[in-house]
Chains A and B, each alone.
Chain A
């Protein structure tokens, strides 16, 4: 497969935040109707739905979509932890690429405030989760290791939150619209040493969607964004032979596959949306994507290279640190942001002249493996 044959025809999202009272269907309608309108399609035009949700009740996706008329089609729900939404996108694209369907809705939703007051509860059936190993402690481990091995500083980690919260000032759909300083980030409550509260993404309720179809096949091809590649994989074993922190290799391996399929190198890419669930996560991910060498991620963010105005902005939307992280919706919100960037529609957070963008999402929570799933996709402006 070349990846040259598919495109995103339209995207949509709800607002992101703690909005328990809205419930799943209303969030879904906002995202899906916006994506359908953007693609110039009716609900009855959709051939199939691939959806991502992690904590959704059985039947969540059909319950969300039936009342806007997406019925009598295959609806396939995928759980792939934090990468559920981009996994759904990946499968939607594959299905169009292989000629199985023509107009596919990739959809993601999570109503997390219905399930949690704070952090996601550890998974009791997991060897690590059964010990009370909540997600922030996974990243606390990585941060401790990075401070020890590479001399990454607390200030460099805090700078990720400062940058992404600054970016979110231009994103009306983000949950957090307030800038923070390094001092405020480091002065916030300690959650999992050395990760403080402002270095953790918030939970959120939201939905997001993308319509995928053949390149050039929509009613207005000038609005299409080409899917140059998409890669999805689970991690290697993460064991006593592994020197890297958890999640490094899976992102690097997935990105290598996505770059190869797209025929691009990391230096060609103008803008990135990456999985910054915690500050150290963005530092690790920018290294693994190849934006800098192993161990240089702290210095990269400090240099301004990944800020709006820098050479390769990362998370112009404000990222998960500003949007919040409704697991199933996150990946498709990242996709929507890159589509808006490539169409020059991102207003105050626009990366000028962006033609090539990449999305990375990585999900974990399973002991002994270097991530449950990672998706990297490369998108290109063609209009």
Chain B
């Protein structure tokens, strides 16, 4: 991945990607948690998809997480230059999100520990490896 951006980029309201924000110097995932069943999401819908509760409160998650799986995409897609590394990350106490990986062009081993670290040049959420 060519460059990591550590200040929040401008973001369109309709941008569907998981939204990161900086709180007290840490990069966190923003979203919501159900006030009744505790279900965490990277979005903030009016009802909980699990229990149906209307009691959905904004929440932040991270910065740490664990890789569920990972791959390196090596074919061109519009507006991006391959290769780039992607991972599904189970953010601690939070939801599973897709993120780009800051590091060499190799897939992370499932179970690897990562930390939310900023944004790609395209505004994608980015993680980097933080431990084993």
Contacts and interface: CB of A to CB of B under 8 A. Distances in A.
A234 to B, nearest CB: 13
Please classify how large the interface on chain A is, using the bins under 10, 10 to 19, 20 to 34, 35 or more.
35 or more
Contacts of A131: 17, 86, 98-100, 122, 124-125
B25 interface: no
Contact of B71 (A119, A122, A140): A140
A237 interface: yes
A192 interface: yes
A141 B42 contact: no
A127 B80 contact: no
Contacts of B96: 238-240, 242
A126 interface: yes
Nearest to B71: A140
Contact of B70 (A134, A141, A238): A141
Given A144-B107, A148-B111, A191-B75, A130 B16 contact: yes
A190 B111 CA distance: 23
A143 B100 CA distance: 18
A159 to B, nearest CB: 20
B17 A149 contact: no
B71 A141 contact: yes
Nearest to B106: A193
A245 B124 contact: no
Given A126-B16, A131-B17, A144 B71 contact: yes
Contacts of B18: 127
B70 A133 contact: no
Given A144-B110, A193-B71, A240 B95 contact: yes
Contact of A118 (B69, B70, B76): B76
B73 interface: yes
Given A127-B98, A132-B124, A143-B71, 15 more contacts: A118-B76, A121-B77, A127-B18, A130-B16, A131-B100, A131-B124, A134-B77, A141-B86, A144-B69, A148-B69, A148-B110, A189-B74, A195-B71, A238-B96, A240-B95
